[in-house]
């Protein structure tokens, strides 16, 4: 306590008063002083870490309220060696599949009052590495990541728990939440076969993305099971975006015989295909059928409405976040792998092919 002169001469002496601190935040120290109590006690009241007798407790609580104290999460995090943040690394929020995932994550995080730090990698492993480093330097409670292709994620022993979503990075041995991509691809193929298609083109995603290649594998498996062969040039690799879907579809349409159906391993590329078909003066599904993968809302309204394999994006995020929270809570269970189901959504972009074309 600095000695304090009695009141009278206050005006004269120009006391070495603090120079009007620029509205800086209220600290626990100030609460302690105002409630004439020790710093530690304030902390104990706030966190319930030790019994504090009721009257004192009330006094502290009142002061907290009246001064409008809010804890400084930085010092808190510094002391406790982790903050209530969750790092969330995704390829690109602009790809309409991801907002749903993010939202699922956030809803879970919000309930437990975790904050989300968002990073878009653009599927660039360098950017991903940068972000990971930066995020770690905030000592987040956990990390949720949709890995870029070829990324090598490692879960550092002392560091925050990590859950991978949607794509499994090379050699990843930790928790993983995904969708039954293989079965989804299989379902797509089966539907096309059932509708009589035998000459089928595929627009696949980047082959080093596990989800893309699994969808393709499932698709192939089904054709193989049905003894339908598919020529390599009928399988085009694109980039999971509309534009490359458009160009790949263009190439497929020029093949002879022209495919009667196209499977795009995501909806964005399927939409590109729809556009390509239109631009080629063909009609979908009359001339060419299209089936997508994702089940984006917007594909209900395309012309024609897109038949697609739905995958539950929101649930994907939701499940991943729940799993992460368990880990943060200290769960040391063996690694978990959660696989959500896909679902064929039949709309109007796949038509039954006339039997004349059918193989005998």
Partner DNA sequence: CATCTTTCTTGAAAGGTTTTATATTTCTCC
Partner DNA sequence: GGAGAAATATAAAACCTTTCAAGAAAGATG
* Residues near DNA (CB under 7 A): 24-25, 27-29, 37-44, 46-47, 49-53, 56-57, 69, 71-72, 75-76, 78-81
The smaller minimum CB distance to DNA, of residues 15 and 40, is found at 40
The smaller minimum CB distance to a second copy, of residues 33 and 136, is found at 136
- Under the binding rule (CB under 8 A), the answer on residue 96 touching a second copy is yes
Tokens of 108: 């879970």
Segment interacting with a second copy, rule: CB under 8 A, options 5-13, 22-30, 186-194, 349-357: 22-30
- Omega cis (within 30) before 285: yes
What is the rounded distance in angstroms from the CA atom of residue 347 to the CA atom of residue 235?
A: 24
The smaller minimum CB distance to a second copy, of residues 58 and 134, is found at 134
What is the rounded distance in angstroms from the CA atom of residue 260 to the CA atom of residue 262?
A: 7
Residue appearing with tokens 């879960």? 155
The smaller minimum CB distance to DNA, of residues 75 and 224, is found at 75
- Under the binding rule (CB under 8 A), the answer on residue 71 touching a second copy is yes
Name the binder of 50 from DNA, a second copy, none, CB < 5-8 A by kind.
DNA
142-145 and 289-294 strand pairing: unpaired
150: left (phi over 0), alpha (psi -120 to 50) or beta: left
- Report which DSSP code applies to 297: G
221 and 186 in contact (C-beta within 8 Å)? yes
Among 115, 251, 258, 347, binds a second copy (CB under 8 A): 115
Q: Please compute, for residue 276, the number of CA atoms within 13 A of its CA located in the half-sphere on the CB side.
A: 25
- Under the binding rule (CB under 8 A), the answer on residue 77 touching a second copy is yes
Name the binder of 116 from a second copy, DNA, none, CB < 5-8 A by kind.
a second copy
Q: How far is the CB of 207 from a second copy (least distance, A)?
A: 26
Name the binder of 85 from DNA, a second copy, none, CB < 5-8 A by kind.
a second copy
The smaller minimum CB distance to a second copy, of residues 249 and 271, is found at 271
Tokens of 87: 């790092």
What is the rounded distance in angstroms from the CA atom of residue 57 to the CA atom of residue 27?
A: 17
Tokens of 199: 């000459």
Q: How far is the CB of 106 from a second copy (least distance, A)?
A: 6
**What residues between 50 and 69 interact with a second copy by CB under 8 A?**
none
Q: What 3-state DSSP class applies to 269? A: helix
Name the binder of 274 from a second copy, DNA, none, CB < 5-8 A by kind.
a second copy
Among 29, 47, 58, 72, binds a second copy (CB under 8 A): 72
343-345 and 307-310 strand pairing: antiparallel
Residue appearing with tokens 């995958």? 311
CB neighbour list of residue 99: distance below 8 Å, 6 or more residues apart:
93
Name the binder of 96 from DNA, a second copy, none, CB < 5-8 A by kind.
a second copy
Task: Report the 10 Å Cβ neighbour count for 358.
Answer: 10
Name the binder of 99 from DNA, a second copy, none, CB < 5-8 A by kind.
a second copy
Contacts to a second copy by CB under 8 A: 21-25, 70-75, 77-78, 81, 83, 85, 88, 92-94, 96, 98-100, 102-103, 106, 110, 113, 115-120, 133-139, 156-159, 242, 271, 274-275, 297-298, 300-305
């Amino acid at each position: 306590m600095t000695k304090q002169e009695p009141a009278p001469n206050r005006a004269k002496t120009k006391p070495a008063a603090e120079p009007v601190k620029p509205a800086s935040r209220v600290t626990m120290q100030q609460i302690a002083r105002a409630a004439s109590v020790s710093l530690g006690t304030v902390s104990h009241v706030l966190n319930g870490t030790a019994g504090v007798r009721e009257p004192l407790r009330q006094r502290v609580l009142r002061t907290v309220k009246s001064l409008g104290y809010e804890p400084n999460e930085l010092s808190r995090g510094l002391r406790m060696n982790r903050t209530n943040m969750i790092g969330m690394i995704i390829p690109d929020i602009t790809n309409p599949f991801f907002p749903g995932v993010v939202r699922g994550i956030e809803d879970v995080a919000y309930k437990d009052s975790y904050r989300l730090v968002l990073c878009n990698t653009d599927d660039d492993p360098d950017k991903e590495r940068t972000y990971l480093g930066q995020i770690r330097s905030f000592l987040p409670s956990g990390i949720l990541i949709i890995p870029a292709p070829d990324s090598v994620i490692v879960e550092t022993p002392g560091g925050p728990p990590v859950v991978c979503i949607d794509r499994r990075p090379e050699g990843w041995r930790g928790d993983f939440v995904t969708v039954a991509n293989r079965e989804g691809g299989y379902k797509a193929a089966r539907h096309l076969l059932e509708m009589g298609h035998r000459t089928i083109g595929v627009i696949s995603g980047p082959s080093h993305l596990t989800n893309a290649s699994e969808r393709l594998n499932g698709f192939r498996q089904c054709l193989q099971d049905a003894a339908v062969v598919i020529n390599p040039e009928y399988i085009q690799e694109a980039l999971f975006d509309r534009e490359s879907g458009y160009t790949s579809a263009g190439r497929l349409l020029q093949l002879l015989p022209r495919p009667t159906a196209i499977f795009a391993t995501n909806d964005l590329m399927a939409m590109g295909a729809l556009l390509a078909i239109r631009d080629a003066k063909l009609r979908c599904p009359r001339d060419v059928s299209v089936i997508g993968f994702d089940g984006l809302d917007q594909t209900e309204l395309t012309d024609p409405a897109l038949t697609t394999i739905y995958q539950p994006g929101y649930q994907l995020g939701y499940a991943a976040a729940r799993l992460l929270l368990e880990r943060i809570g200290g769960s040391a269970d063996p690694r978990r792998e959660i696989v959500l189901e896909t679902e064929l959504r039949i709309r109007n972009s796949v038509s039954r092919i006339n039997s004349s074309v059918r193989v005998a």
